Chains A and B, each alone.
Chain A
Amino acid sequence: MTTDLSNGLVNPVEPFLRSDRMPHIWCPGCGIGTTVNCFARALIESKIDLQSLVVVSGIGCTGRVAGYVKLDSFHTTHGRAIPFATGLKLANPKLKVVVYSGDGDLSAIGGNHLIHAARRNIDLKVICVNNLTYAMTGGQTAPTTPEHSITATNPYGVFEPSFNLPHLVEAAGAVYVARWTTYHVRQLARAMSEAFQKKGFSFIEVISPCPTLYQRRNKLGDGLETMKYYKEKSKVRHGAPTSEVGLTMTGEIIVGKFVDRDRPDYQSMMRAQLTESLGERYVQNPEMVCS
């Protein structure tokens, strides 16, 4: 029986999706689609001009987000969404650039670019969906995989300490740092809205299930069980010191808005310095169109 129970009303998310590409490739119980709902809600609530919003992603399951959203979007190379986004933003400062990528893409191969963009305070909004693994390639160890987990490349258990991403990006210079899980849909949408309005390098980590690989290998249940774990074990601590928000395999998950500070973004600093040094000779090119 396949009665379609949609009754002529339209899903508020639908205008933001490339419906001709549905269904997407994500697994049952994967949280990435949930983050996309939050993203769409945030776009609606913050009344962003969709024409100047660009999504840049890297490679991985989360990287596929770029291909499913009906916006100017770029599916770039593994780990390099942030530098691509940097060039895009510098060439056209009017664009609002969102980097939407996964934990492996952003913190392993992309780690260098992550810390430099944060240091420079490039005006980018980074949504890091952290499913604690390299999901697309089959569930290998990522820098975020909690110790003692079983993965495809640590079949006897991970013995490396994992990155505490909020701590890393705060230390590197990010002006907005928050973490939520895919259970915290309303808070996540709100955090995204705040990040859209924030000038400078904003980083939102979203803990998300990978039921097919990470959760399955570690006998942590399916997507729903993982969501229930998030509900039960998350503790909201706004302003918590990021050094204290590291993750373990089954322990507490500290969520909240950890950092919200102000410092001039890269382009403001560039303009200020060049104006000071060059005065009248500095030619500001707000729209660098090719001649």
Chain B
Amino acid sequence: MAKGRVSIVVERCKSCGFCVEFCPTKVLALSSAFNSRGYHPPHVVNPEKCSGCDLCGMYCPDFAIYATKVPQAGEAQ
């Protein structure tokens, strides 16, 4: 089970590409979908690789993506 989970606020994204580039485990790629402003938001292509480090969230200049840690089996919530 992945250690982390990405959340994307599609409408805020401006396709700068920072999250895709700087994710250490290459979880993301720019999708071919459009948001209402014509930008391609990212989507998760390798969900099992997400560690929940939230570098994507720190890089995003538009506050459009963030990652949270997923409580693992046996860990306290």
Do the two shown chains form a genuine complex with each other? yes
CB neighbors of B among A1-54 (8 A): 1-7, 9, 11-14, 17, 22-24, 26-34, 36-38, 41
**In whole Å, how far is B11's beta carbon from the nearest beta carbon of chain A?**
7
Q: Select one of B17, B18, B58 contacting A189, CB under 8 A.
A: B58
Cβ of B14 and Cβ of A4 under 8 Å apart? no
A3 to B22, CA, bound (A): 24
A7 to B66, CA, bound (A): 11
From A115-123, A160-168, A222-230, A275-283, the one touching the partner chain is A222-230
**In whole Å, how far is A223's beta carbon from the nearest beta carbon of chain B?**
5
Q: Select one of B17, B22, B33, B57 contacting A1, CB under 8 A.
A: B33
Query: Is A152 among interface residues, defined by CB-CB distance under 8 A?
Result: no
Cβ of A24 and Cβ of B11 under 8 Å apart? no
Query: Is A88 among interface residues, defined by CB-CB distance under 8 A?
Result: no
Query: Is B23 among interface residues, defined by CB-CB distance under 8 A?
Result: no
A32 to B70, CA, bound (A): 29
Cβ of A5 and Cβ of B12 under 8 Å apart? no
A6 to B41, CA, bound (A): 12
Q: Select one of A1, A23, A37, A224 contacting B60, CB under 8 A.
A: A37
Q: Select one of A11, A26, A182 contacting B57, CB under 8 A.
A: A11
Residues of A within 8 A of B22 (CB): 183, 227
Q: A1-B34, A5-B8, A228-B21 are in contact. Are A34 and B15 (CB under 8 A)?
A: no
Residues of A within 8 A of B58 (CB): 34, 37-38, 41, 185-186, 189
Residues of B within 8 A of A189 (CB): 58
Interface centre among B17, B39, B43, B63 (most CB of A within 10 A): B63
CB neighbors of A among B1-51 (8 A): 5, 7-12, 14-18, 21-22, 33-36, 39, 41, 43
Query: Is B61 among interface residues, defined by CB-CB distance under 8 A?
Result: yes
- The residue on A at minimum CB distance from B8 is A5
**In whole Å, how far is B8's beta carbon from the nearest beta carbon of chain A?**
4
Cβ of A37 and Cβ of B57 under 8 Å apart? yes
Residues of B within 8 A of A228 (CB): 21
Residues of B within 8 A of A13 (CB): 57, 63, 66
A163 to B59, CA, bound (A): 27
A9 to B57, CA, bound (A): 13
Q: A34-B18, A223-B18 are in contact. Are A6 and B8 (CB under 8 A)?
A: yes
**In whole Å, how far is B45's beta carbon from the nearest beta carbon of chain A?**
13
A31 to B9, CA, bound (A): 18
Cβ of B63 and Cβ of A33 under 8 Å apart? yes
Extra contacts besides A37-B57, A223-B61 (6): CB < 8 Å: A6-B7, A24-B62, A29-B14, A37-B60, A222-B16, A224-B21
* 7 A-B residue pairings within 8 Å (CB atoms): A5-B43, A6-B9, A22-B63, A26-B62, A185-B55, A189-B58, A227-B21
